[in-house]
Structure 1
Amino acid sequence: MKKILLINDGSTAVGLAAKLALQVVKAMQAEILIVQTYGQAKAHPARVLAGASGLVEEGLQPETDRLSRLLQQLNDGFQPVISLEEFPVTDASTMADMALRTDCWMIIRGCGKMPPGYSPLDFQSLLNRLRCPLLMVPENWSGDWVRRITYMADLRYCRQNIMRYLSEWAIATQAGLSLAHFSKKGLVPIVESYGLRLFADIRRQLPGSALTFNNIQEPDIHRALDVLINGLHNDLLVLINHRVHFKEIIGERLTSQLPAGISIPILLFPL
Protein backbone atom coordinates (compact mmCIF):
# COMPACT_ATOMS: atom_id res chain seq x y z
CA MET A 1 0.00 0.00 0.00
CA LYS A 2 1.28 3.47 -0.89
CA LYS A 3 2.17 5.86 1.92
CA ILE A 4 1.72 9.64 1.93
CA LEU A 5 3.90 11.62 4.34
CA LEU A 6 2.21 14.78 5.64
CA ILE A 7 4.55 17.30 7.29
CA ASN A 8 3.03 19.18 10.22
CA ASP A 9 5.62 21.82 11.09
CA GLY A 10 3.13 24.28 12.56
CA SER A 11 2.49 26.06 9.26
CA THR A 12 -0.87 27.84 9.11
CA ALA A 13 -1.54 25.99 5.83
CA VAL A 14 -1.36 22.51 7.37
CA GLY A 15 -5.16 22.20 7.24
CA LEU A 16 -5.14 22.70 3.45
CA ALA A 17 -2.27 20.24 3.15
CA ALA A 18 -4.30 17.70 5.15
CA LYS A 19 -7.29 18.26 2.87
CA LEU A 20 -5.20 17.56 -0.22
CA ALA A 21 -3.53 14.59 1.46
CA LEU A 22 -6.93 13.00 1.96
CA GLN A 23 -7.74 13.54 -1.72
CA VAL A 24 -4.56 11.70 -2.70
CA VAL A 25 -5.01 8.96 -0.11
CA LYS A 26 -8.61 8.33 -1.10
CA ALA A 27 -7.75 8.13 -4.80
CA MET A 28 -4.69 5.93 -4.34
CA GLN A 29 -6.05 3.85 -1.41
CA ALA A 30 -2.95 4.83 0.56
CA GLU A 31 -1.95 5.41 4.19
CA ILE A 32 -1.04 8.74 5.82
CA LEU A 33 2.07 9.22 7.93
CA ILE A 34 1.87 12.52 9.83
CA VAL A 35 5.29 13.77 10.87
CA GLN A 36 5.10 16.55 13.43
CA THR A 37 8.34 18.47 13.65
CA TYR A 38 7.62 20.80 16.57
CA GLY A 39 5.89 21.03 19.92
CA GLN A 40 7.19 18.08 21.90
CA ALA A 41 10.46 17.21 23.55
CA LYS A 42 10.27 13.48 22.91
CA ALA A 43 9.21 11.31 19.98
CA HIS A 44 6.01 9.30 20.46
CA PRO A 45 4.99 7.13 17.49
CA ALA A 46 1.29 6.23 17.50
CA ARG A 47 -1.29 4.67 15.20
CA VAL A 48 -4.92 5.67 14.77
CA LEU A 49 -7.74 5.11 12.33
CA ALA A 50 -9.43 8.15 10.83
CA GLY A 51 -13.10 8.14 11.69
CA ALA A 52 -12.57 6.63 15.15
CA SER A 53 -14.10 8.30 18.17
CA GLY A 54 -10.75 9.78 19.21
CA LEU A 55 -7.05 9.19 19.57
CA VAL A 56 -6.34 5.99 21.42
CA GLU A 57 -2.70 6.82 22.21
CA GLU A 58 -1.77 9.01 25.16
CA GLY A 59 1.00 11.58 25.24
CA LEU A 60 0.08 13.25 21.94
CA GLN A 61 0.48 16.99 21.65
CA PRO A 62 -2.66 19.15 21.18
CA GLU A 63 -1.54 20.09 17.66
CA THR A 64 -1.26 16.43 16.66
CA ASP A 65 -4.67 15.80 18.18
CA ARG A 66 -6.13 18.77 16.29
CA LEU A 67 -4.70 17.65 12.95
CA SER A 68 -5.92 14.07 13.42
CA ARG A 69 -9.39 15.31 14.28
CA LEU A 70 -9.30 17.56 11.22
CA LEU A 71 -8.53 14.51 9.06
CA GLN A 72 -11.47 12.72 10.65
CA GLN A 73 -13.77 15.65 9.82
CA LEU A 74 -12.58 15.77 6.21
CA ASN A 75 -12.63 12.06 5.47
CA ASP A 76 -16.26 11.93 4.25
CA GLY A 77 -16.70 8.33 5.36
CA PHE A 78 -13.35 7.14 4.01
CA GLN A 79 -11.16 5.69 6.76
CA PRO A 80 -7.44 5.65 5.90
CA VAL A 81 -4.89 4.31 8.32
CA ILE A 82 -2.99 7.20 9.91
CA SER A 83 0.44 6.84 11.50
CA LEU A 84 1.79 9.56 13.75
CA GLU A 85 5.44 10.29 14.44
CA GLU A 86 6.69 13.29 16.37
CA PHE A 87 10.21 14.58 15.77
CA PRO A 88 10.68 18.06 17.24
CA VAL A 89 14.33 18.23 16.21
CA THR A 90 14.76 17.22 12.59
CA ASP A 91 16.45 18.36 9.42
CA ALA A 92 16.23 17.72 5.70
CA SER A 93 18.50 14.68 5.86
CA THR A 94 16.46 13.05 8.65
CA MET A 95 13.19 13.71 6.82
CA ALA A 96 14.57 12.31 3.56
CA ASP A 97 15.81 9.19 5.39
CA MET A 98 12.36 8.71 6.90
CA ALA A 99 10.72 9.01 3.48
CA LEU A 100 13.12 6.39 2.12
CA ARG A 101 12.70 4.09 5.12
CA THR A 102 8.91 4.16 4.87
CA ASP A 103 8.92 3.85 1.05
CA CYS A 104 6.96 7.07 0.81
CA TRP A 105 5.03 7.73 -2.44
CA MET A 106 4.62 11.46 -1.89
CA ILE A 107 5.40 14.13 0.72
CA ILE A 108 2.89 16.95 1.30
CA ARG A 109 3.53 20.23 3.10
CA GLY A 110 1.41 23.37 3.58
CA CYS A 111 3.17 26.66 2.81
CA GLY A 112 1.88 29.08 5.44
CA LYS A 113 3.16 31.19 8.30
CA MET A 114 5.28 29.44 10.92
CA PRO A 115 4.71 29.59 14.70
CA PRO A 116 6.89 32.09 16.60
CA GLY A 117 10.29 30.68 17.34
CA TYR A 118 10.10 27.81 14.84
CA SER A 119 12.08 27.63 11.62
CA PRO A 120 10.99 25.53 8.63
CA LEU A 121 13.08 22.79 7.08
CA ASP A 122 15.51 23.57 4.28
CA PHE A 123 13.13 22.36 1.57
CA GLN A 124 15.64 22.69 -1.26
CA SER A 125 18.01 20.43 0.64
CA LEU A 126 15.13 18.03 1.29
CA LEU A 127 14.10 17.94 -2.38
CA ASN A 128 17.71 17.30 -3.40
CA ARG A 129 17.75 14.18 -1.20
CA LEU A 130 14.32 12.73 -2.00
CA ARG A 131 13.37 9.85 -4.25
CA CYS A 132 9.66 10.71 -4.19
CA PRO A 133 7.98 14.01 -5.19
CA LEU A 134 7.27 16.88 -2.80
CA LEU A 135 3.81 18.48 -3.00
CA MET A 136 3.76 22.08 -1.75
CA VAL A 137 0.33 23.55 -0.94
CA PRO A 138 0.03 27.38 -0.89
CA GLU A 139 -2.00 29.08 1.82
CA ASN A 140 -4.18 30.80 -0.81
CA TRP A 141 -5.20 27.53 -2.49
CA SER A 142 -8.98 27.26 -2.95
CA GLY A 143 -9.10 23.71 -1.57
CA ASP A 144 -11.00 22.39 -4.60
CA TRP A 145 -10.70 18.80 -5.79
CA VAL A 146 -7.76 18.35 -8.19
CA ARG A 147 -9.32 17.79 -11.63
CA ARG A 148 -6.65 19.20 -13.97
CA ILE A 149 -2.97 18.32 -13.62
CA THR A 150 -0.36 20.02 -15.82
CA TYR A 151 3.23 18.89 -16.25
CA MET A 152 5.19 21.91 -17.55
CA ALA A 153 8.26 20.88 -19.52
CA ASP A 154 10.07 21.13 -22.82
CA LEU A 155 8.54 18.22 -24.75
CA ARG A 156 12.01 17.22 -25.93
CA TYR A 157 13.00 16.57 -22.31
CA CYS A 158 9.78 14.95 -21.08
CA ARG A 159 10.43 12.26 -18.44
CA GLN A 160 8.49 9.05 -19.03
CA ASN A 161 8.77 7.92 -15.39
CA ILE A 162 7.08 11.15 -14.31
CA MET A 163 4.39 10.76 -16.93
CA ARG A 164 3.67 7.23 -15.67
CA TYR A 165 3.46 8.47 -12.07
CA LEU A 166 1.11 11.31 -13.01
CA SER A 167 -0.97 9.06 -15.24
CA GLU A 168 -1.51 6.59 -12.41
CA TRP A 169 -2.69 9.39 -10.13
CA ALA A 170 -4.85 11.03 -12.81
CA ILE A 171 -6.59 7.76 -13.68
CA ALA A 172 -7.24 6.98 -10.01
CA THR A 173 -8.75 10.40 -9.32
CA GLN A 174 -10.40 10.77 -12.75
CA ALA A 175 -8.45 13.96 -13.41
CA GLY A 176 -7.32 15.36 -16.72
CA LEU A 177 -3.58 15.30 -17.38
CA SER A 178 -1.94 17.87 -19.64
CA LEU A 179 1.58 18.11 -20.97
CA ALA A 180 2.31 21.83 -21.35
CA HIS A 181 5.27 22.42 -23.65
CA PHE A 182 7.31 25.56 -23.01
CA SER A 183 10.60 25.62 -24.90
CA LYS A 184 13.77 25.62 -22.84
CA LYS A 185 15.55 28.95 -22.83
CA GLY A 186 18.03 29.09 -25.70
CA LEU A 187 16.37 26.37 -27.77
CA VAL A 188 14.38 26.91 -30.94
CA PRO A 189 10.61 26.59 -30.31
CA ILE A 190 9.09 23.43 -31.76
CA VAL A 191 6.61 23.65 -34.63
CA GLU A 192 3.13 22.29 -33.97
CA SER A 193 3.44 19.26 -36.30
CA TYR A 194 6.69 18.11 -34.69
CA GLY A 195 5.26 18.64 -31.22
CA LEU A 196 2.21 16.55 -32.06
CA ARG A 197 4.42 13.69 -33.28
CA LEU A 198 6.45 13.75 -30.06
CA PHE A 199 3.27 13.90 -28.01
CA ALA A 200 1.74 10.96 -29.90
CA ASP A 201 4.76 8.80 -28.99
CA ILE A 202 4.34 9.73 -25.31
CA ARG A 203 0.59 9.14 -25.27
CA ARG A 204 0.94 5.67 -26.79
CA GLN A 205 2.88 4.61 -23.72
CA LEU A 206 0.14 5.78 -21.33
CA PRO A 207 -3.02 3.88 -22.20
CA GLY A 208 -6.11 4.82 -20.24
CA SER A 209 -4.95 8.33 -19.36
CA ALA A 210 -6.92 11.40 -20.50
CA LEU A 211 -3.71 13.06 -21.69
CA THR A 212 -3.75 16.32 -23.68
CA PHE A 213 -1.06 18.50 -25.22
CA ASN A 214 -0.65 22.27 -24.92
CA ASN A 215 2.04 23.91 -27.04
CA ILE A 216 2.57 27.23 -25.25
CA GLN A 217 3.58 29.98 -27.66
CA GLU A 218 3.80 32.77 -25.07
CA PRO A 219 7.52 33.61 -24.72
CA ASP A 220 7.21 35.03 -21.19
CA ILE A 221 7.11 32.11 -18.75
CA HIS A 222 5.35 34.10 -16.03
CA ARG A 223 2.56 35.10 -18.39
CA ALA A 224 2.33 31.51 -19.55
CA LEU A 225 2.09 30.38 -15.93
CA ASP A 226 -0.70 32.88 -15.30
CA VAL A 227 -2.61 31.48 -18.30
CA LEU A 228 -2.17 27.89 -17.06
CA ILE A 229 -3.43 28.76 -13.58
CA ASN A 230 -6.01 31.49 -14.13
CA GLY A 231 -6.91 31.09 -17.79
CA LEU A 232 -7.02 27.31 -18.21
CA HIS A 233 -7.93 26.72 -14.54
CA ASN A 234 -5.40 23.98 -13.85
CA ASP A 235 -5.51 22.67 -10.30
CA LEU A 236 -1.95 21.36 -9.92
CA LEU A 237 1.39 22.20 -11.54
CA VAL A 238 4.28 19.75 -11.96
CA LEU A 239 7.99 20.62 -12.27
CA ILE A 240 11.33 18.82 -11.88
CA ASN A 241 14.01 19.93 -9.45
CA HIS A 242 16.82 21.88 -11.16
CA ARG A 243 15.44 21.11 -14.61
CA VAL A 244 13.71 23.09 -17.34
CA HIS A 245 11.70 26.04 -15.93
CA PHE A 246 12.30 25.21 -12.24
CA LYS A 247 14.64 28.13 -11.61
CA GLU A 248 12.50 30.53 -13.67
CA ILE A 249 9.36 29.72 -11.67
CA ILE A 250 10.62 28.75 -8.21
CA GLY A 251 13.80 30.84 -8.03
CA GLU A 252 17.35 29.99 -7.05
CA ARG A 253 16.20 27.76 -4.17
CA LEU A 254 12.95 26.23 -2.98
CA THR A 255 11.96 27.83 0.33
CA SER A 256 9.09 27.29 2.75
CA GLN A 257 6.99 29.76 0.73
CA LEU A 258 5.94 29.49 -2.92
CA PRO A 259 6.22 32.49 -5.27
CA ALA A 260 3.29 34.91 -5.04
CA GLY A 261 1.93 34.03 -8.48
CA ILE A 262 1.38 30.36 -7.61
CA SER A 263 -2.07 29.85 -6.08
CA ILE A 264 -2.36 26.11 -6.76
CA PRO A 265 -0.40 23.16 -5.32
CA ILE A 266 2.87 22.41 -7.06
CA LEU A 267 4.34 18.91 -7.29
CA LEU A 268 8.13 18.91 -7.44
CA PHE A 269 9.97 15.80 -8.60
CA PRO A 270 13.56 15.10 -7.58
CA LEU A 271 16.15 14.49 -10.27
Structure 2
Amino acid sequence: MSQTPTVIAHRGNSSVAPQNTLAAFEAAWRSGAGSIELDVQLTADGQVVIIHDDTADATTDGTGPISAMDLARVRQLDAGSWFSPAYAGQRVPTLAEVVDFLLRRPDIDLLLEIKGSWTVEQVRLVTDPLADAGLFDRVIGQSFWPETVAALAEAAPSLRRGLLVFGVESVDQLLDQCAALGVVTCNPAGPLLVQYPDLVERLHGAGLQTMVWTLDEPEHWAQARTLGVDAIITDRPDRLLGYLAAP
Protein backbone atom coordinates (compact mmCIF):
# COMPACT_ATOMS: atom_id res chain seq x y z
CA MET A 1 0.00 0.00 0.00
CA SER A 2 1.28 3.45 -0.88
CA GLN A 3 1.72 6.20 1.67
CA THR A 4 -1.32 7.59 3.44
CA PRO A 5 -2.24 10.91 1.81
CA THR A 6 -2.80 14.06 3.81
CA VAL A 7 -6.48 14.95 4.18
CA ILE A 8 -7.25 18.53 3.11
CA ALA A 9 -10.67 19.89 4.04
CA HIS A 10 -12.12 21.66 0.99
CA ARG A 11 -13.37 25.10 2.10
CA GLY A 12 -13.26 23.62 5.60
CA ASN A 13 -15.42 20.65 6.50
CA SER A 14 -17.99 21.82 3.98
CA SER A 15 -20.18 18.73 4.28
CA VAL A 16 -21.19 19.62 7.84
CA ALA A 17 -20.86 23.42 7.97
CA PRO A 18 -21.19 26.29 5.48
CA GLN A 19 -18.13 26.44 3.27
CA ASN A 20 -15.40 29.00 3.90
CA THR A 21 -16.69 29.98 7.33
CA LEU A 22 -14.99 29.78 10.71
CA ALA A 23 -17.51 27.07 11.64
CA ALA A 24 -16.33 24.96 8.72
CA PHE A 25 -12.68 25.53 9.61
CA GLU A 26 -13.29 24.55 13.21
CA ALA A 27 -15.18 21.44 12.07
CA ALA A 28 -12.24 20.54 9.82
CA TRP A 29 -9.85 20.84 12.76
CA ARG A 30 -12.13 18.72 14.93
CA SER A 31 -12.27 16.05 12.22
CA GLY A 32 -8.50 15.67 12.35
CA ALA A 33 -7.80 17.01 8.85
CA GLY A 34 -4.18 17.84 8.15
CA SER A 35 -4.95 21.04 6.30
CA ILE A 36 -7.74 23.40 5.29
CA GLU A 37 -8.26 24.67 1.75
CA LEU A 38 -9.90 28.06 1.39
CA ASP A 39 -10.37 30.84 -1.16
CA VAL A 40 -9.62 34.55 -0.92
CA GLN A 41 -11.11 37.53 -2.72
CA LEU A 42 -10.56 41.28 -2.39
CA THR A 43 -13.21 43.78 -1.31
CA ALA A 44 -13.67 47.21 -2.87
CA ASP A 45 -11.51 48.73 -0.14
CA GLY A 46 -8.69 46.23 -0.61
CA GLN A 47 -9.44 43.87 2.27
CA VAL A 48 -8.88 40.11 2.02
CA VAL A 49 -11.97 38.00 2.71
CA ILE A 50 -12.63 34.27 2.54
CA ILE A 51 -15.23 33.37 -0.07
CA HIS A 52 -15.13 31.18 -3.16
CA ASP A 53 -17.25 32.99 -5.71
CA ASP A 54 -16.57 36.50 -6.96
CA THR A 55 -20.17 37.34 -6.07
CA ALA A 56 -22.05 37.04 -2.79
CA ASP A 57 -25.08 35.32 -4.31
CA ALA A 58 -24.39 31.59 -3.81
CA THR A 59 -23.27 31.46 -0.17
CA THR A 60 -24.69 34.56 1.54
CA ASP A 61 -27.95 36.50 1.76
CA GLY A 62 -26.43 39.25 -0.41
CA THR A 63 -26.07 39.79 -4.13
CA GLY A 64 -23.45 41.31 -6.39
CA PRO A 65 -19.68 41.28 -6.79
CA ILE A 66 -17.48 41.09 -3.70
CA SER A 67 -15.13 43.53 -5.42
CA ALA A 68 -17.91 46.15 -5.43
CA MET A 69 -18.54 45.90 -1.66
CA ASP A 70 -16.41 47.37 1.10
CA LEU A 71 -15.43 45.20 4.04
CA ALA A 72 -18.16 46.60 6.28
CA ARG A 73 -20.81 45.56 3.77
CA VAL A 74 -19.32 42.09 3.29
CA ARG A 75 -19.23 41.58 7.05
CA GLN A 76 -22.96 42.35 7.27
CA LEU A 77 -23.76 39.35 5.08
CA ASP A 78 -25.14 36.14 6.55
CA ALA A 79 -22.91 33.35 5.25
CA GLY A 80 -24.55 30.48 7.12
CA SER A 81 -28.34 30.43 6.71
CA TRP A 82 -28.19 29.14 3.11
CA PHE A 83 -26.63 25.94 4.49
CA SER A 84 -28.78 25.48 7.59
CA PRO A 85 -30.71 27.68 10.02
CA ALA A 86 -28.33 26.36 12.69
CA TYR A 87 -25.57 28.43 11.10
CA ALA A 88 -27.48 31.71 10.82
CA GLY A 89 -25.19 34.62 11.55
CA GLN A 90 -21.96 33.04 10.30
CA ARG A 91 -19.94 35.77 8.62
CA VAL A 92 -17.62 35.89 5.64
CA PRO A 93 -14.26 35.57 7.44
CA THR A 94 -11.37 37.98 7.09
CA LEU A 95 -7.78 36.88 6.58
CA ALA A 96 -7.04 38.22 10.06
CA GLU A 97 -9.56 35.76 11.51
CA VAL A 98 -7.94 32.89 9.62
CA VAL A 99 -4.52 33.90 10.93
CA ASP A 100 -5.96 33.92 14.46
CA PHE A 101 -7.54 30.51 13.86
CA LEU A 102 -4.22 29.03 12.71
CA LEU A 103 -2.42 30.46 15.72
CA ARG A 104 -5.02 28.90 18.03
CA ARG A 105 -4.93 25.57 16.16
CA PRO A 106 -1.22 24.88 15.61
CA ASP A 107 -1.77 21.32 14.40
CA ILE A 108 -3.54 22.16 11.13
CA ASP A 109 -2.09 23.69 7.96
CA LEU A 110 -3.50 25.94 5.24
CA LEU A 111 -3.81 25.59 1.48
CA LEU A 112 -4.76 29.11 0.40
CA GLU A 113 -6.21 29.65 -3.06
CA ILE A 114 -6.09 33.11 -4.62
CA LYS A 115 -9.02 33.53 -6.99
CA GLY A 116 -8.27 35.41 -10.19
CA SER A 117 -5.38 37.44 -11.53
CA TRP A 118 -3.66 39.43 -8.76
CA THR A 119 -0.77 41.88 -8.91
CA VAL A 120 2.28 41.62 -6.68
CA GLU A 121 0.95 44.51 -4.59
CA GLN A 122 -2.39 42.77 -4.14
CA VAL A 123 -0.75 39.47 -3.26
CA ARG A 124 1.21 41.17 -0.47
CA LEU A 125 -2.12 41.84 1.25
CA VAL A 126 -2.21 38.07 1.75
CA THR A 127 1.44 37.22 2.26
CA ASP A 128 2.43 40.02 4.63
CA PRO A 129 -0.04 39.07 7.42
CA LEU A 130 0.96 35.40 7.11
CA ALA A 131 4.63 36.34 7.30
CA ASP A 132 4.08 38.64 10.27
CA ALA A 133 2.37 35.77 12.11
CA GLY A 134 5.22 33.38 11.32
CA LEU A 135 2.95 30.99 9.44
CA PHE A 136 4.85 30.40 6.18
CA ASP A 137 5.93 26.90 7.25
CA ARG A 138 2.25 25.91 7.54
CA VAL A 139 0.90 27.57 4.38
CA ILE A 140 0.94 26.85 0.66
CA GLY A 141 -0.36 29.56 -1.67
CA GLN A 142 -1.96 28.35 -4.88
CA SER A 143 -3.92 29.58 -7.88
CA PHE A 144 -5.23 28.51 -11.27
CA TRP A 145 -3.75 31.74 -12.66
CA PRO A 146 -0.03 31.37 -13.49
CA GLU A 147 0.47 35.12 -13.25
CA THR A 148 -0.88 35.04 -9.69
CA VAL A 149 1.49 32.20 -8.77
CA ALA A 150 4.33 34.28 -10.26
CA ALA A 151 3.17 37.27 -8.19
CA LEU A 152 3.32 35.10 -5.08
CA ALA A 153 6.91 34.21 -5.92
CA GLU A 154 7.86 37.86 -6.24
CA ALA A 155 5.94 39.02 -3.18
CA ALA A 156 7.10 36.21 -0.87
CA PRO A 157 9.85 34.02 -2.36
CA SER A 158 10.00 31.82 0.75
CA LEU A 159 6.30 30.93 0.70
CA ARG A 160 5.64 27.53 -0.87
CA ARG A 161 3.48 27.73 -3.98
CA GLY A 162 1.18 25.44 -5.91
CA LEU A 163 -0.39 25.45 -9.36
CA LEU A 164 -4.02 24.34 -9.68
CA VAL A 165 -4.92 22.68 -12.96
CA PHE A 166 -8.32 21.83 -14.39
CA GLY A 167 -7.11 20.63 -17.79
CA VAL A 168 -3.74 20.15 -19.47
CA GLU A 169 -2.70 19.99 -23.12
CA SER A 170 0.23 17.72 -22.29
CA VAL A 171 2.04 16.53 -19.20
CA ASP A 172 5.32 17.76 -20.66
CA GLN A 173 3.92 21.27 -21.01
CA LEU A 174 2.57 21.14 -17.46
CA LEU A 175 5.96 20.09 -16.08
CA ASP A 176 7.63 22.94 -17.94
CA GLN A 177 5.11 25.41 -16.53
CA CYS A 178 5.58 24.12 -12.99
CA ALA A 179 9.35 24.41 -13.34
CA ALA A 180 9.07 27.96 -14.66
CA LEU A 181 6.84 28.98 -11.75
CA GLY A 182 8.97 27.27 -9.12
CA VAL A 183 6.03 25.55 -7.44
CA VAL A 184 6.37 22.70 -4.94
CA THR A 185 3.02 21.11 -5.72
CA CYS A 186 0.81 20.66 -8.78
CA ASN A 187 -2.82 20.12 -7.84
CA PRO A 188 -4.96 18.52 -10.55
CA ALA A 189 -8.68 17.98 -10.85
CA GLY A 190 -9.63 14.37 -10.17
CA PRO A 191 -10.53 13.48 -13.79
CA LEU A 192 -6.95 14.25 -14.85
CA LEU A 193 -5.79 11.19 -12.91
CA VAL A 194 -7.95 9.09 -15.24
CA GLN A 195 -6.97 10.99 -18.38
CA TYR A 196 -3.25 10.79 -17.57
CA PRO A 197 -2.62 7.66 -15.45
CA ASP A 198 1.10 8.46 -15.22
CA LEU A 199 0.54 12.07 -14.10
CA VAL A 200 1.30 11.54 -10.41
CA GLU A 201 4.38 9.46 -11.20
CA ARG A 202 5.72 12.10 -13.57
CA LEU A 203 5.03 14.95 -11.16
CA HIS A 204 6.85 13.05 -8.44
CA GLY A 205 9.68 12.41 -10.86
CA ALA A 206 9.99 16.17 -11.28
CA GLY A 207 10.16 16.63 -7.51
CA LEU A 208 6.59 17.92 -7.21
CA GLN A 209 3.89 16.98 -4.76
CA THR A 210 0.36 16.26 -5.97
CA MET A 211 -2.78 17.30 -4.12
CA VAL A 212 -5.85 16.14 -6.07
CA TRP A 213 -9.27 17.80 -5.87
CA THR A 214 -12.15 17.43 -5.06
CA LEU A 215 -12.71 13.75 -4.26
CA ASP A 216 -15.69 12.78 -2.11
CA GLU A 217 -16.32 9.10 -2.91
CA PRO A 218 -14.47 5.98 -1.68
CA GLU A 219 -13.78 4.67 -5.19
CA HIS A 220 -12.06 7.93 -6.07
CA TRP A 221 -10.10 7.92 -2.81
CA ALA A 222 -8.95 4.37 -3.56
CA GLN A 223 -7.74 5.27 -7.03
CA ALA A 224 -5.92 8.38 -5.82
CA ARG A 225 -4.24 6.45 -3.04
CA THR A 226 -3.14 3.70 -5.42
CA LEU A 227 -1.57 6.34 -7.67
CA GLY A 228 0.34 7.71 -4.69
CA VAL A 229 -1.02 11.25 -4.38
CA ASP A 230 0.41 13.28 -1.52
CA ALA A 231 -2.93 14.75 -0.45
CA ILE A 232 -6.63 14.49 -1.20
CA ILE A 233 -8.78 17.60 -1.11
CA THR A 234 -12.30 16.63 -0.04
CA ASP A 235 -15.61 18.03 1.17
CA ARG A 236 -15.79 15.04 3.54
CA PRO A 237 -12.59 15.04 5.59
CA ASP A 238 -14.12 13.11 8.48
CA ARG A 239 -15.28 10.30 6.18
CA LEU A 240 -11.99 10.23 4.28
CA LEU A 241 -10.05 9.99 7.55
CA GLY A 242 -12.23 7.06 8.57
CA TYR A 243 -11.68 5.40 5.21
CA LEU A 244 -7.90 5.82 5.42
CA ALA A 245 -7.84 4.44 8.98
CA ALA A 246 -9.70 1.27 8.03
CA PRO A 247 -7.58 -1.92 7.79
Structure 1 length as normaliser, TM-score? 0.29
More helix by share: 2
Structure 2 length as normaliser, TM-score? 0.31
Bigger-Rg structure (1/2): 1
